[in-house]
Amino acid sequence: MHAKRQHFVPQFYLKNFAKANGDLWICRRRSEAKSSAVFKSNARKICVENNLYEIPSMNTPEQKFIEWRAIEAALSRMESTFALSVKHLAEYDPDKPDTSSESLWEHLSIVIVFTANLIVRNPKWIKTRRKLAESLTRDLLSRGFFSPNDLFELGKNGYSSDLQGIVELSIQHAELLNFNDRSSTMKLVEEFNKMSVILLRAPDNASFITSSFPVTASWTDEETENPDWLYLPLSATSALIFHEERQQNFFFRRISTEEVDELNVYSLEMNALWDTAISGSKTALETCLRSIS
């Protein structure tokens, strides 16, 4: 069974920042080779890990993973919906005569789910959650959650050594694919829905950058659990701000080149979770890196 390269930041999103030929400029965090810190790549090669969402099977050499590619297939189906709504918002312009706002709220609600999905599918989040499987398995066994028949059926189906792996897969499924009130995704969505949203549009001579952890959060009070300011670039030309100053639920704003540069710096300087900075514009990325170095 070959290793499967799985993106934790979807390729459709990364391509929103690329040049027409697909080129992206990237920089790894804390690169020591300053002369070559920024280099060319593409969406296929970045924000990806081999078998990121796969749970190893302890049973047989032939069966390397439990339910191989099941999570990836489900994420791929979700991404098709996300991509349409992100594109709609990224291209939304109330000044164009053929622009309709009828579906704006539907697309915005989907992009809010996408924002939460970007957080929970990141390795820094999902791997931490998966580590709970060992203690949870012991707890479930001690409480008799699995009946003798359950354990017999696991063995009969070739999963006799994979109980902890199955629990780990269940945790991952709940984190990434469940949309009930108890899931991490929907808890984030609930908080984001309380916030007002600003859609920002960059001028022609400016470019938003993004990163391997695209969502940047800020707290005015560090003792509170939930942030009161979120920033998500949608494309090289558009970005979203979520904030708690509930003057109105949504509005559109064109911003200056200087403001785009400030947001680019903010997205890296105030975000400790990114490993790779990403842009279709080498100039925009280098300008930002000089400001934070």
- pLDDT value of position 247: 57
Q: Distances from the Cα of 22 to the Cαs of 18, 35, 214, 243, in angstroms?
A: 5, 23, 19, 32
Determine the Cα–Cα distance for residues 30 and 33; give it in Å rounded to an integer. Answer: 9
Q: Which of 89, 75, 92 is nearest to 11 (CA)?
A: 75
Band (89; pLDDT cuts 50, 70, 90): very high
Q: Which of 9-23, 38-52, 105-119, 153-167 has the lowest mean pLDDT?
A: 153-167
Residue 292 tokens read as 């934070």
Q: State the pLDDT at residue 275.
A: 93
Residue 150's pLDDT is 85
Question: % helix / strand / coil in the chain, to the nearest 5?
Answer: 40, 15, 40
Residue type, 226: N
Q: Tell me the pLDDT tens digit for each residue of 128-147.
A: 999 999 999 999 999 999 88
Going by their DSSP bridges, the two strands 196-201 and 210-211 should be labelled as unpaired
Give the mean model confidence (pLDDT) for residues 217-238.
Answer: 84
Name every residue whose Cβ is closer than 8 Å to that of residue 261 and which is 6 or more positions away in sequence. Answer: 206, 284, 287, 288, 291
The pLDDT value recorded for residue 25 is 97
CA distance 238 to 206: 10
Q: Which two tokens stand for residue 29?
A: 């965090």
Which pTM was predicted? 0.91
Q: Give the model's confidence band at 33: pLDDT under 50 very low, under 70 low, under 90 confident, else very high.
A: very low
Which of 63 and 173 is assigned the larger pLDDT?
Answer: 173
Q: Which two tokens stand for residue 144?
A: 């008799």
- For residues 10 and 176, what is the distance between their CA atoms, to the nearest angstrom? 14
pLDDT of 158-210, one tens digit each?
A: 777 899 999 999 999 999 998 888 889 999 999 898 889 999 999 999 999 99
Name residue 1's amino acid: M
Tokens of 214: 């695209």
Q: What is the mean pLDDT of residues 93-103?
A: 72
SS3 readout for 153-169: HHHHCCCCCCHHHHHHH
- Averaged pLDDT, 97-125: 87
Q: Within 10 Å of residue 17's Cβ, how many Cβ atoms?
A: 25
- Answer for the pair 262, 202: CB distance below 8 angstroms, yes or no: no
Q: What is the pLDDT of residues 244-277, one digit of tens each?
A: 765 556 788 999 999 999 999 999 999 999 999 9
> What's the mean pLDDT when you consider all of the chain?
89
The amino acid present at 248, given as its one-letter code, is Q
Q: Is the pLDDT of residue 101 over 70?
A: no
Q: What's the pLDDT band for 223 if we cut at 50, 70, 90? A: low
What was the pLDDT predicted at 35?
41
Q: What is the mean pLDDT of residues 7-22?
A: 96
Work out the average pLDDT over 208-230. Answer: 84
Please list the alpha-helical segments (H only) found in the chain. Answer: 11-15, 70-91, 104-120, 123-130, 133-142, 148-156, 163-177, 184-192, 257-269, 282-292
Model confidence band, residue 224 (pLDDT cutoffs 50, 70, 90): low
Q: Report how far apart the first and last C-alpha atoms of the chain are (Å, whole number).
A: 43
What gap in Å lies between CA 13 and CA 11, rounded to an integer?
Answer: 5
| Residue 282 token pair | 């080498």
Residues 6 or more apart in contact with residue 190 via CB below 8 angstroms: 181
